[in-house]
Structure 1
Amino acid sequence: MNTQQGTLNKEGRTREKLIIFVKNEEAGKTKTRLAATIGDEQALEVYQKLLGWTFEQTRNLEVAKEVWYSRFIAEKDIWEGGDFTKQLQSGENLGKRMSNAFQQSFLDESFQKVVIIGSDCAELTSDIIQQAFQELEEHEFVVGPAEDGGYYLLGMRSYHPEVFEEIEWSTGSVFQKTVEKIRDIGLNHTTLKELNDVDTIEDWNRVKSGL
């Protein structure tokens, strides 16, 4: 079976896992920078469209797929329509929450590639996610840089908590600091093409016609 279809271990289970970080669909708690311009309810509607895009790009990927919620595990939402397992994020900041998700994933030794994405990027496609898993054949890490200096995707072949430590999250230095952490621990990485997360009205205006 080729990488695009998902590689299997000797027990016939996929060796690849995709983690999708989402926020619960609550007005006033999603897309707060965007909400400052268009209001809480409209910002929630935008986020729901981004969730729909993320769902469509991931639903047919032949990897293990987990949706990790920010506050509580929701029922009867869009993720019921695909082969997604539901989990709850834990940790005091984004880095710790991602680190915990990777740590839990690699406790299952059958997984040899784990990739995490958010739910804010309307330019992220299934092809790019598949490329990330393919890159992990040759590299320990794969990173998808975002235009704002963060990243929209991070993948690794084994758990390395160092890449989440001593980083100032939600700043323009997250991607660069992460790459420096990878180099500091002596491992190799590759990067995907730069994409744009939706945080502001300008970001939204760039992509909304495609959703």
Structure 2
Amino acid sequence: MDAVVIMSRIPVPGKTKTRLEGFLTSKECADLHRAFLKDILTMRTDKNKFLSYGDEGPLELVENILPYDVETFPQRGENLGEKMKNVFIHLFSLGYENIVLFGADIPEITETDIENALKKLKKSDLVFGPTLDGGYYLVGMKKIHEIVFSDEIKWGSASVFEKTINLIKKKGIDVDLIDIQEDIDTKDDLINLYKRIKNTSVCKNTEKFVEGLGERIDGKTNR
């Protein structure tokens, strides 16, 4: 069985997308995160889907945007590595054989990205989707590889992906990649995203939110 997992904070003001504060208010940061989730959750796949959520606030804050076929469970762990590992442990314990996990900072992720990751996972031990800032937005595995969650990795740094790959290579583990993406953490990231999705058929909730920023975004994108 295959599982697709979205790992996300609960969009609470002051608890999410905080690197955008100053350009956005804390409430707008939470609303942007909510728009990302709405776009990601519209993705159609025949795989079993899960949302693993943080402790920033109650799940009720996002229940009204959850499709009926998305199951939920809380994140557990002290850091990102522990939380990801516990997601995989939980789903492997339920009998899933191929698991793809990704974050909520990539609203442009598509069904094709997920299918590519699962396809590559059939032939490789691990699959990653790298980001432009040196991290990764997706990881897939078919059994636990503890090295991916090593304490040697400085979570949130620009070396996360490079360090992870280097550790994996030392173990002789077979790894494959899917397309690189830009996660949305800063003002420039958001402006670049808007340029890509404006007047397209993707990320409609995010596009609507950013358009609502008015001159703040128009003044930047029209330069």
TM bin, normalised by shorter chain, reads 0.7 to 0.9
In structure 2, the residue matched to 1:102 is 88
Give, in whole Å, the separation in 2 of the partners of 1:100 and 1:42. 30
Q: Which has the larger radius of gyration?
A: 2
In structure 1, the residue matched to 2:188 is 202
In structure 2, the residue matched to 1:70 is 54
Task: Write the deviation string for residues 80-104 of structure 1: whole angstroms up to 9, x where unpaired.
Answer: x231111000111111100111111
In structure 2, the residue matched to 1:149 is 134
Q: 1:82 aligns with which of 43, 49, 68?
A: 68
Once the two structures are TM-superposed, the CA of residue 73 in structure 1 deviates from its matched residue by: 5.3
Task: Give the letter for the 1:78 counterpart.
Answer: I
What secondary structure does 1:37 align onto? Answer: coil
Give, in whole Å, the separation in 2 of the partners of 1:35 and 1:126. 31
Task: Give the letter for the 1:144 counterpart.
Answer: G
| Contact kept in structure 2, 1:73 and 1:87, CA below 8 Å | no
Task: Write the deviation string for residues 8-31 of structure 1: whole angstroms up to 9, x where unpaired.
Answer: xxxxxxx10111111112111110
Give, in whole Å, the separation in 1 of the partners of 2:76 and 2:37. 20
Give, in whole Å, the separation in 2 of the partners of 1:46 and 1:64. 26
Q: CA RMSD in A?
A: 1.4
Give, in whole Å, the separation in 1 of the partners of 2:58 and 2:141. 25
In structure 2, the residue matched to 1:192 is 178
| Contact kept in structure 2, 1:73 and 1:88, CA below 8 Å | no
Task: Give the TM-score normalised by structure 1.
Answer: 0.87
In structure 2, the residue matched to 1:26 is 12
Task: Give the letter for the 1:77 counterpart.
Answer: N
Task: Write the deviation string for residues 37-80 of structure 1: whole angstroms up to 9, x where unpaired.
Answer: 222011112111111111112xx21111110110155133311x
| Contact kept in structure 2, 1:122 and 1:207, CA below 8 Å | no
Task: Write the deviation string for residues 131-151 of structure 1: whole angstroms up to 9, x where unpaired.
Answer: 100111111111000011000
In structure 1, the residue matched to 2:124 is 139
Give, in whole Å, the separation in 2 of the partners of 1:125 and 1:199. 19
| Contact kept in structure 2, 1:20 and 1:68, CA below 8 Å | yes
Give, in whole Å, the separation in 2 of the partners of 1:85 and 1:123. 22
Task: Give the letter for the 2:18 counterpart.
Answer: T
In structure 1, the residue matched to 2:104 is 119
Aligned residues with identical type, % of pairs: 31
Stretches of structure 1 that go unaligned for 5 or more consecutive residues are: 1-14
Once the two structures are TM-superposed, the CA of residue 183 in structure 1 deviates from its matched residue by: 1.5
